[in-house]
């Protein structure tokens, strides 16, 4: 069949589409996503069978191809096609900077696909729902954007409905958990939806991998892991903390490594959980990969639990040290330094291997692969430097790192960026009220940056203003915080930690009363840290320097978006 259309109608009409059976004529305007010249063309497009359309979506190598399929066949998209579209988009954007740039420039072209997805959500089966959410999150089409918030809210509701119908597998739940965590939407939606231990393991791992802090979720998971325990089952300690339907032997080495890493990352597991992990890991050490062994060492050092695991772990690491990658060597060295466990044969082997593989290890330095790559590599160099400091701290005789690598790790550690917090600034204001000069972010020869340095009773004091990231959920300091404090003390610093919850407890509506409480707190804490007794805190009152209060009030005004630099003076 032949269809004749006037050329003028094609040039003047904004869009025209006509379909007949298996073929179509489509008159295109220039697409928002094409970047091409303004033109109108008549293109013959053959209709595709549903399976063919799915294959075309899956095979698309560029976002432009996906968008062309949408333009030409969008009316034929079913639930499977919508899912395949988003899933493929996520993979393309995640793996290519060019696709990321394309999406930033022309993301508005996705609006029709988003609206179609909203309309079709009730028709999505569990797998399609999971793939859609995962694709959106991978493409960084997040709930923080108003344009996408409605879709994420609807996905949240659809996911809850699937949970109610028990349609989601643990792996489905893990993928959804990662997607919602990445999108920063629905913090706790799935915390009550799991019927087995592996599902709980998956969701904690997924949230930790996404770098998403959801303390209520972690607390709920840890609580549920304990409440539904079967203490009478074999390996009772493990089962008393984890198991409901599944048994300890059903956790493979990778699952145990993931669980240890996830709970250490979020700081949400009680001590019995790590004791239970210790029991489960010991008989399976030979089944762990090199990365798994390094992750286990890191997790237990970070959590500060079960130091007894490091002995057997050393033997296993020694037996396969040559197979470990440079990154895993750095993580392992840091973990032992943090845990404070000395194993001379292991450290001697690490140092000798570092010398033999200097080229491999040296490549941990900054690369041209982008900021994210540089950040990761610097992290490993920092770990190696802290291990070198630990060698000096212990006075042990195992060989040092090769000079070239030691210089690079020290340089990376000493150049790490610091970001003073508002709480740190307020501590400095309070020190000023006590008449104490202070310096922020003091970089010492060993490379550490001390939050605030001051002098009290003739003693040089380093003050660490410790926010939530320095503590686990039980308010014990993290492994990194413990290591820094220990090494700073070794290098001669008198330290005072100001935990965030103690500082926040000093709030008062009256600014002068608040400052008096802050000064009294600092004076008493400095006395305790230095072992002195000063006149400032000996008679129950603290002299307040009004000038620092004015400085603080002015700085707070400058932080406000509406502050225009008015030259107003506050009086006291």
**pLDDT at position 540:** 41
**Residue 140 pLDDT greater than 90, yes or no:** no
**pLDDT at position 200:** 54
Is 450 in the same domain as 413? no
Nearest Cα to 331, choosing from 419, 416, 235, 264?
264
Range of the domain at 15: 7-46
Decide if 88 contacts 66 (C-beta within 8 A).
yes
**Residue 551 pLDDT greater than 80, yes or no:** no
- Among candidate residues 314, 340, 366, the one where a domain is terminated: 314
67 vs 558 pLDDT, higher one: 67
The pLDDT tens digits of the residues spanning 353-383 come to 777 765 555 555 444 444 333 334 777 788 8
On whether residue 154 sits in a domain, the answer given is no
Is 386 in the same domain as 344? yes
Query: For residue 323, what are the CA distances in angstroms to 144, 198, 320, 351, 529?
Result: 43, 30, 6, 15, 46
475 vs 554 pLDDT, higher one: 475
Is 204 in the same domain as 262? yes
- Among candidate residues 389, 417, 445, the one where a domain is terminated: 417
Read off the pLDDT of each residue in 107-124 and give the average, rounded to a whole number.
89
pLDDT band, residue 45 (cuts 50/70/90): low
Is 363 in the same domain as 433? no
Query: For residue 148, what are the CA distances in angstroms to 113, 119, 121, 508?
Result: 12, 14, 14, 40
Domain count, the chain: 4
Is 345 in the same domain as 309? no
Is 377 in the same domain as 429? no
On whether residue 181 sits in a domain, the answer given is no
**pLDDT at position 468:** 84
Is 525 in the same domain as 554? yes
Is 456 in the same domain as 478? yes
Is 286 in the same domain as 330? no
On whether residue 109 sits in a domain, the answer given is no
**Residue 224 pLDDT greater than 70, yes or no:** no
Q: For residue 350, what are the contacts with CB-CB under 8 A and spacing of at least 6?
A: 321, 329, 332, 333
* Sheet containing 494-499, strands listed edge to edge, beginning at the edge strand earlier in sequence: 439-443, 449-456, 459-466, 494-499
pLDDT band, residue 330 (cuts 50/70/90): confident
On whether residue 228 sits in a domain, the answer given is yes
Place of tokens 């006590």: 434
* Sheet containing 16-20, strands listed edge to edge, beginning at the edge strand earlier in sequence: 16-20, 23-28, 41-46
Is 532 in the same domain as 503? yes
């Amino acid at each position: 069949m032949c269809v004749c259309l006037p050329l003028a109608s094609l040039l003047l009409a904004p869009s025209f589409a006509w379909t007949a059976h298996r073929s179509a004529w489509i008159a295109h305007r220039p697409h928002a996503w094409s970047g091409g010249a303004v033109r109108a063309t008549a293109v013959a497009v053959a209709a595709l069978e549903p399976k063919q359309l799915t294959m075309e979506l899956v095979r698309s190598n560029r976002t432009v191809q996906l968008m062309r399929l949408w333009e030409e066949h969008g009316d034929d998209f079913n639930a499977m096609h919508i899912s395949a579209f988003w899933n493929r988009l996520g993979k393309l954007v995640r793996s290519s900077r060019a696709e990321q740039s394309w999406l930033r420039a022309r993301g508005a072209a996705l609006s029709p696909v988003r609206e179609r997805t909203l309309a079709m959500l009730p028709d999505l089966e569990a797998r399609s729902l999971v793939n859609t959410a995962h694709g959106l999150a991978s493409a960084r089409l997040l709930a923080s954007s108003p344009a996408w918030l409605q879709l994420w809210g609807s996905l949240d509701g659809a996911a809850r409905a699937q949970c109610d119908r028990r349609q989601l597998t643990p792996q489905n739940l893990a993928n959804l958990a990662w997607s919602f965590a990445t999108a920063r939407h629905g913090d706790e939606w799935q915390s009550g939806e799991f019927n087995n231990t592996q599902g709980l393991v998956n969701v904690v791992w997924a949230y930790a991998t996404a770098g998403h802090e959801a303390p209520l979720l972690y607390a709920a998971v840890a609580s549920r892991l304990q409440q539904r325990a079967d203490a009478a089952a074999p390996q009772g300690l493990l089962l008393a903390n984890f198991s409901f339907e599944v048994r300890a032997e059903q956790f493979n080495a990778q699952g145990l490594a993931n669980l240890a890493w996830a709970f250490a990352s979020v700081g949400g597991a009680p001590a019995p959980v790590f004791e239970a992990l210790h029991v489960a890991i010991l008989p399976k050490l030979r089944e762990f990969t090199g990365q798994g062994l390094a992750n286990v060492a890191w997790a237990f050092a970070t959590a500060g639990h079960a130091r007894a695991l490091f002995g057997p772990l050393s033997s296993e690491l020694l037996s396969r040290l040559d197979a470990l990658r440079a990154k895993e060597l750095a993580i392992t060295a840091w973990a032992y330094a943090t845990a404070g466990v000395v194993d001379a044969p292991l450290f001697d082997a690490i140092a000798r291997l570092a010398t033999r593989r200097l080229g491999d290890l040296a490549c941990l330095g900054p690369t041209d692969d982008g900021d994210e790559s540089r950040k990761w590599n610097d992290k490993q160099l920092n770990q190696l430097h802290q291990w070198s400091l630990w060698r000096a701290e212990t006075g042990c005789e195992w060989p040092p790192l090769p000079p070239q690598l030691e210089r690079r790790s020290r340089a990376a550690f000493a150049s790490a960026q610091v970001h003073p917090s508002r709480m740190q600034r307020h501590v400095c204001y309070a020190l000023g009220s006590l008449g104490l000069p202070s310096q922020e972010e003091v970089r010492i020869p060993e490379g550490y940056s001390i939050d605030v340095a001051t002098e009290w009773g003739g003693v040089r004091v380093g003050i660490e203003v410790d926010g939530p990231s320095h503590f686990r959920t039980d308010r014990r300091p993290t492994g990194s915080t413990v290591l820094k404090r220990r090494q700073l003390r070794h290098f001669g610093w008198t330290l005072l930690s100001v935990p965030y919850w103690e500082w926040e407890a000093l709030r008062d509506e009256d600014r002068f009363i608040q400052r008096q409480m802050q000064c009294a707190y600092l004076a008493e804490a400095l006395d305790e840290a230095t072992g002195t007794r000063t006149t400032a805190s000996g008679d129950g009152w603290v002299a307040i320097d009004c000038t620092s209060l004015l400085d603080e009030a002015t700085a707070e005004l400058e932080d406000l978006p509406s502050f225009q630099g008015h030259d107003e003076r506050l009086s006291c």
